């Protein structure tokens, strides 16, 4: 015999509980709540704390102080600048354009901007900036090497092989080893000028310089006011031809004012004013006529 018990209370859920249970079993909702909920909470706490302006200000101040404390530690201080590969004048120029009062924190140095400034100098081809351990700001500079002297309206200037300005020059005689070019726009054609000067090797001792004519072609100026007018295109080959002619027939040593090669198909010689009479006299002599 067994004791009889009343049936257990019916466990029907309320509509709300039922709906909530179904919502809870929805995978998207569940994931959003389980993963997104804590993230939202963690993000909301500091957000709520920062809503007050005073707190925000104090917090920003604290942050700034902390940053300053770290930045001014001796490990991060730069005490001097070492410049490699620069002439004494360039060294001075660089120190002038980089006004740093040491010691300064390496956090406050904008190395990229400083490098741009240094490269902005005419005489600097490239520069490297490093902060070395020990608080040394190391600046390695490659200088531009002057290749030609350019005489322009602004006076004499030194240019490197690619036509960049290196430095102004006071007098031509200060750098007698460098060739001279002149004329407007000559600095934009320095590589061609260098090639022409190299080709003109055999007449080097007579070469006075190159003149840029109308910003498009070169004249080679020799002493005795002799000129070789080169064409706009193929100047190098034309000059080679002229040099070859000179070596065969000694042309340039004669009384010629100009060798006009502007049209390479039709070379023209311009003789000196007395030379034409002299030539006709010689022709007559050769023909057997009597003098007088």
Q: Which residues bind other proteins (CB under 8 A)?
A: 1-4, 6-7, 10-13, 15, 18-19, 21-22, 25-27
d(CA 76, CA 263): 68
DSSP lists the bridge partners of residue 83 as 139
Nearer to other proteins, 19 or 172 (CB): 19
CB of 20 to other proteins, least distance (A): 10
Cβ neighbours of residue 86 under 8 Å, at least 6 residues apart? 94, 124, 141, 143
CB of 43 to other proteins, least distance (A): 29
d(CA 66, CA 70): 6
DSSP lists the bridge partners of residue 131 as 137
CB of 44 to other proteins, least distance (A): 29
131, burial (CB in 10 Å: exposed 0-12, middle 13-18, buried 19+): middle
Nearer to other proteins, 12 or 173 (CB): 12
Q: Are 158 and 167 in contact (CB under 8 A)?
A: yes
CA dihedral 20, 26, 28, 31 (to 10 degrees): 70
Residue carrying structure tokens 């704390």:
49
CB of 46 to other proteins, least distance (A): 35
CB of 36 to other proteins, least distance (A): 19
Nearer to other proteins, 4 or 41 (CB): 4
Nearer to other proteins, 21 or 223 (CB): 21
d(CA 17, CA 237): 99
Task: Give kind and range of the element (H or E) at residue 269.
Answer: strand 268-271
Nearer to other proteins, 10 or 112 (CB): 10
CB of 38 to other proteins, least distance (A): 21
Nearer to other proteins, 9 or 266 (CB): 9
Give the residue among 51, 127, 57 at the shortest CA–CA distance from 85.
Answer: 127
């Amino acid at each position: 015999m067994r004791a009889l018990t009343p049936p257990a209370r019916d466990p029907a859920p309320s509509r709300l509980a039922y709906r909530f249970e179904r919502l809870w079993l929805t995978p998207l909702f569940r994931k959003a709540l389980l993963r997104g909920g804590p993230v939202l909470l963690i993000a909301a706490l500091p957000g709520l704390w920062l809503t007050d302006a005073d707190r925000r200000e104090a917090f920003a101040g604290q942050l700034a102080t902390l940053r300053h404390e770290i930045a001014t530690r001796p490990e991060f201080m730069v005490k001097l600048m070492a410049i490699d590969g620069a002439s004494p004048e360039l060294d001075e120029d660089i120190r002038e354009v980089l006004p740093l009062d040491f010691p300064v924190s390496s956090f406050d140095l904008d190395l990229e901007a400083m490098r741009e400034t240094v490269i902005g100098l005419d005489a600097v081809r490239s520069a490297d900036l490093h902060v070395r351990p020990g608080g040394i700001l190391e600046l390695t500079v490659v200088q531009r090497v002057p290749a030609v002297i350019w005489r322009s309206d602004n006076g004499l200037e030194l240019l490197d092989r690619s036509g960049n300005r290196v430095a102004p020059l006071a007098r031509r005689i200060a750098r007698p080893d460098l060739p001279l070019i002149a004329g407007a726009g000559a600095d934009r054609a320095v590589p061609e000028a260098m090639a022409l000067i190299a080709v003109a090797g055999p007449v080097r001792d007579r070469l006075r310089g190159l003149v840029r004519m109308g910003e498009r072609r070169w004249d080679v100026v020799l002493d005795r006011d002799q000129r070789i007018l080169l064409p706009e295109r193929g100047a190098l080959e034309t000059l080679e031809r002229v040099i070859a002619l000179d070596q065969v027939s000694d042309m340039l040593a004669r009384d010629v004012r100009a060798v006009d090669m502007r049209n390479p198909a039709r070379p023209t010689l311009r003789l000196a004013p007395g030379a034409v009479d002299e030539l006709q006299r010689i022709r007559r002599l050769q023909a057997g006529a009597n003098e007088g």
